[in-house]
Structure 1
Amino acid sequence: MPEAPTFAVPGAPIFAVQRTIPKHNKVPHGWNSLSEAGTVVGDSKFIPIKCPLSPGKFRYPNNFCLMEFVKHHQQQGRKIGLIIDITNTDRYYDRSDVPFAVAHKKIFVVGHEKAPGNECKQFNDIVEKFKETNPDEYIVVHCTHGLNRTGFMIINYLIEHEEQTVDDAFNAFNTSRSPHGMYNPLFIDELYEKHNQTNSILYRNMTYPEVPGYAMAKIKKLVYKNKLLSKREDSEKYSELVERYKV
């Protein structure tokens, strides 16, 4: 298997505005342990990535240059036309870090303890409007780690606008963003419940995807707080789930 490309750069990109790098800009917890980007999600035009970190704000190798990323995909025959940022902050990079020809949209979405709600319609509307005039161009989506919020938004869109089942959309995203994909049990439950597909065999026997080490403590608290395993008491996987989350 060829080595995955890296989009970290030693200095500010050529076309970016040079900035003074803050001494204490903090890289998001767990960011370094994840791959920079997933593959295209199934037959869609979505490409999930973790949050870019401006080379003008974060020192090499702890940065992720959008200009290099877009150029890489262009060389592979994929024109990126839109980037949707769904982090709940604007501190990671500036509009000047985005190639001029690429549209950029921002939706502030709180992560972890609450699945996206009204933000889904905003996301869907942005995507639909873009696709009307740019049907062949690709759409990059990112939250902080490019896993849970990103996965929820993309999967929900594929269900509501491309008539996919939750199973199919979930598997497509998690294949793209393996080995973890969207792993938050609260988000996964919400998607199956929202779309009335909790009778899915995949869902009924699900043990949920592997949780990255940096996130396990928070996920265990989330599972306990929301009593999520009570929905799994009749599952053959119940004892396995209890052991995994130790609740």
Structure 2
Amino acid sequence: MQKQMMYILTIIFRHVASVKQIKAILLELHPVLPTRDEAFGGDKTTLEREERIQRIKRQCPDDRPAPMRDEIFQTKKQKPISKLPPGWLDCPAFGWKIGCIIPSNVPLGETFNNCVLPGKRCSFRQVLHQQRVLGRKFGMVIDLTNTSRYYSLSDWRKAGTRHVKIQCRGHDSVLDNVFVNLFVYEVSQFLARQKHVQKYILVHCTHGHNRTGFMIVHYLLRTLPISVTQVLKKISDARPPGIYKPDYIDALYAFYHEKKPEMVVYPPTPKWKRSSELNLNGDMPDDDDDGGPPAPLPVCVSARELSPLILLALYSRVKCLVIPSLLKV
């Protein structure tokens, strides 16, 4: 009987909008509708008990004090603790300067303090202080991570440092040339705008080796008359062990049409990167994705927006590599 009543009421409220129409339909269905006793599924004693309970509730309202604001806040779902990037604790904070560029691992915000001991923390304030002691001041930071969970952008803005986000996916893929062009453009524009005081650029991915080194190598190869082998050595000296992913190194030789030496040695994976936790295949998990979705391709820079410094760098690159090879022929 209860199911029949609910079905009838559902049909009524779904197709009828007028209160008068609802009353008329209920009068017509009066013989079909259950009595009050049938609706409650009990006898007169049950109904009286229900009425008595409702009357007591009305006469004796709940006089318990309302929860305070702090209590309500504490009962809310607590924000989960931020997950620390694997290998970050033992990874060196930053390397030696390469021109105006300083390679670094990602500085972590205060949300990671619960899982990092005070002596191992590396926040943006600590990075600024350490470089200030060395007489360096940052004018720009280029973030190559595939996420935005590591720190707040407002920290850099308050310090007067420009933040550039080039969201690069590092797992099982070499960085697209669109990201490389954007990196070279941003660095070149930054240097062209500098006047009297020299400022530095902090470049970081998660650990500051593969993606960071890959970008810096491209910039140096496009602005200096130097070979891939020489610039890889330069990167490994400034930020040991440098780029250690073989596919990144092979991509650099292939992109600049330089023959890879037969005795080339790929650096081993650093100890701080080796994880004791293996995946289902028994391999070490690659954490360079930063837990984010695939990185979207940035908007390409038009030819009119290219700095004359980039054009000059490309000309010098072609002049140093192409012309000598033609003369040999």
Q: Tell me if TM exceeds 0.5.
A: yes
Query: Which residue does 1:123 correspond to in 2?
Result: 183
Deviations 1:179-225 (A, max 9, x none): x22100000000011111124xxx321120121243584599xxxxx
Distance, in Å, in 2 between the alignment partners of 1:73 and 1:108 is 25
Query: Which residue does 1:26 correspond to in 2?
Result: 83
Distance, in Å, in 1 between the alignment partners of 2:212 and 2:193 is 23
Deviations 1:106-150 (A, max 9, x none): 011000311112100011111111111126211110001111000
TM, length-normalised to structure 1: 0.72
**What amino acid sits opposite 1:105 in the alignment?**
V
Give the unaligned 5+ runs of structure 1. 1-20, 221-247
Structure 2 counterpart of 1:181, from 242, 257, 274: 242
Structure 2 counterpart of 1:166, from 228, 246, 250: 228
- 2:101 is the counterpart of 1:46: yes
The structure whose Rg is larger is 2
- 2:152 is the counterpart of 1:97: no
Deviations 1:63-120 (A, max 9, x none): 4211221122122111211100000000100112325211110011000311112100
Distance, in Å, in 2 between the alignment partners of 1:32 and 1:95 is 22
Distance, in Å, in 2 between the alignment partners of 1:218 and 1:198 is 31
**What amino acid sits opposite 2:215 in the alignment?**
M
- 2:269 is the counterpart of 1:207: no
TM, length-normalised to structure 2: 0.55
Distance, in Å, in 2 between the alignment partners of 1:67 and 1:91 is 17
Distance, in Å, in 1 between the alignment partners of 2:79 and 2:213 is 31
Identity %: 31
Q: Report the 3-state secondary structure (helix = DSSP H, G, I; strand = E; otherwise coil) of the residue aligned with 1:48.
A: strand
**What amino acid sits opposite 2:244 in the alignment?**
Y
Query: Which residue does 2:255 correspond to in 1?
Result: 194
Distance, in Å, in 2 between the alignment partners of 1:58 and 1:148 is 26
- 2:211 is the counterpart of 1:149: yes
Q: Report the 3-state secondary structure (helix = DSSP H, G, I; strand = E; otherwise coil) of the residue aligned with 2:113.
A: coil
How far off is 1:33 after superposition? 2.2
Q: Report the 3-state secondary structure (helix = DSSP H, G, I; strand = E; otherwise coil) of the residue aligned with 1:204.
A: coil
Hey, which bits of structure 1, 4+ residues long, moved more than 3 A?
213-220
Q: Report the 3-state secondary structure (helix = DSSP H, G, I; strand = E; otherwise coil) of the residue aligned with 1:37.
A: coil
**What amino acid sits opposite 1:134 in the alignment?**
Q
Pairwise CA RMSD = 2.2
Aligned residues: 194
Distance, in Å, in 2 between the alignment partners of 1:100 and 1:138 is 14
Contact in 1 for aligned 2:83/2:112 (Cα 8 Å): no
How far off is 1:168 after superposition? 1.8
- 2:115 is the counterpart of 1:68: no
Query: Which residue does 1:225 correspond to in 2?
Result: none
How far off is 1:55 after superposition? 2.0
Contact in 1 for aligned 2:107/2:127 (Cα 8 Å): no
Contact in 2 for aligned 1:25/1:57 (Cα 8 Å): yes
